[in-house]
Structure 1
Amino acid sequence: MTDTPLSYGTPEHPRVAVRGEARLEFDPETARLGITVSARGKDRRNALDDLTRRNDRVLELARSYGQAMEKLETGAFSITPELDQQGRNEKIRAYHGRVHITAVLNDFTALGEFTTRIADLEMTHINGPWWNLRPDSPAHAEARRQAVREAVQRAREYAGALDTHLTALVELADIGAENAPTALPAPPGGARAAYGAAAPQAPALNLEPQRQTVYARVNARFIMAPPKL
């Protein structure tokens, strides 16, 4: 019969259970913008033609930023009739078209210029930025490593208080290492809608990146040498 220490501890193999936590801040790696292109026309074809032209202009501008534009995606698209409320019949007054675009940039110098240029386009609405770390960012691994180091240090301190030492690790349980909420409301007076004709190009908007908080927590259980009480 092997003499294996039990995970719940015995007098010969007392157990110490601790939690390790880390809360670190890092500079963001990407910024996400939500762009909505709109059009309104008296007939469906005119609304669609205007929407297509404006959408192409946004995509062309976004693609001109090359590698600074990490991701460019088109979301929902709609053409909706507006009914005349004055009559009983279902008479269509106009058509409204919308297309939603998501742009993710990794160059924050280009971000300010791009935001201003998009906001200058006719019938275009922009929200953001929302700052983020990538899912595979080294920041998450660093937070987990620090949480483990803290758990080991805490267990050693408990053992040291009993004039003994740790002998084995029984369990290490990851109970979460996740990024804090990072969404920011659109800055007041900043990257908002520009409905109507385009104005002369405005200077680049100065956007200050928001540092991202990364959390990590682990539960750890150790076996220590029997203390002399």
Structure 2
Amino acid sequence: MAEVVTKGVGKVERTADRAEVSVSFETLGSTRQEAVERLTARIAGVEPALERPGVEVRSRQLNVHDNWDGRRRSGSRATQNYVVRVDDVTALDSLLGALVTAEPTWLHGPTWQLKDDADAVREAQREAVLDARRRAEGYAGALGARLGPLHRLTDGDAEGWAVESTRMRTAAYGGAPGVPPQMDELNLEAQQITVTVRCTASWALLD
């Protein structure tokens, strides 16, 4: 029996309801202990900001090492890296304000996410199947045939491709100490996330 194979794409947009931020603080000292002591003092005002409701520290990593100038040791460096998840996006402005005020060495974010993309995925799946069917009906009509029953449906492009979420707009700050950006100048509005589903379908062709 003749058949036609088509690919369908479904895309659904949702407003992000979760954000993730990466931030690093770095200090120097003549010894490792001195570098760590300076780092501890520097992040003393940061930790309380990370204990707010709706804020979760996903990763907290300390790195301490010596600096070298050729074969000569030239002091030590201490770094604290955080990955912070914000489930209450209304608290994002104040959290970033607190982090920037503490003069981080590097701040990257927010990266926008969805807490639960199940509904969006299901809707995108329906759109992908409808798209594949519309294409198949077009080919059937072009051949003077009728579209028969579905033989096979594969998630993705028949090559293991599945669901993707496009996270929109991230920002980064690595400016000079003491010169933080103005928070009201940053676009911190929750962005749209596109959930994309692809499928490959095989349909029977009827005379």
Between the aligned partners of 1:153 and 1:130, the Cα distance in structure 2 is 35
**Aligned partner of 1:140 among 121, 124, 129:** 121
* Structure 1 residue 21, shift from structure 2 partner: 1.3
| Aligned-pair CA distance for 1:150 | 1.9
Q: Check whether the contact 1:179–1:212 (CA below 8 A) recurs between aligned residues.
A: no
Name structure 2 gaps, 5 residues minimum: none
1:105 and 1:194 map into 2 onto residues whose CA distance is 26
Percent identity over the alignment is 27
**1:151 corresponds to which letter in structure 2?**
A
Matches within 5 A, 1:40-51: 40-51=28-39
Tell me if structure 1 keeps the 8 A contact 2:17–2:190: no
Amino acid aligned to 1:58? V
Instruction: Give 1:183 shift.
Output: 6.2
Tell me which residue corresponds to 2:190: 209
Task: Tell me, yes or no, if structure 1 residue 29 matches structure 2 residue 17.
Answer: yes
Q: Are positions 1:39 and 2:1 aligned together? A: no
- How many residues end up aligned between the 2 structures? 201
Query: Equivalences for 1:1-229 in 2 at 5 Å?
Result: 10=1, 14-64=2-52, 66=53, 68-69=54-55, 71-83=56-68, 90=72, 92-134=73-115, 136-159=117-140, 165-175=146-156, 176-182=161-167, 184-186=169-171, 191-193=173-175, 195=177, 206-225=187-206, 227=207
Alignment-mate amino acid for residue 127 of structure 2: Q
- C-alpha displacement at 1:55, in angstroms? 3.9
Higher strand share: 2
**TM score, norm. by length of structure 1:** 0.72
Query: Take 2:31 and 2:18, find their aligned partners in 1: how far apart are those partners?
Result: 40
1:24 to partner: Cα distance: 2.8
- TM-aligned CA distance change 1:169 to 1:105, over 3 Å: same
Mapped partners of 1:83, 1:18: distance in 2: 60
Contact preservation (8 Å) 1:28, 1:209: yes
Higher CA-based Rg: 1
> Which whole-Å CA distance do the structure 2 matches of 1:163 and 1:122 have between them?
69
Unpaired stretches in structure 1, ≥5 consecutive residues:
1-9
The Cα shift of 1:103 comes to 0.7
- My pick for the range that moved more, 147-156 or 202-211, is 202-211
Structure 1 residues 117-158: Cα deviation after superposition (integer angstroms, max 9, x where no partner): 100014553221122235744322221221012222333444
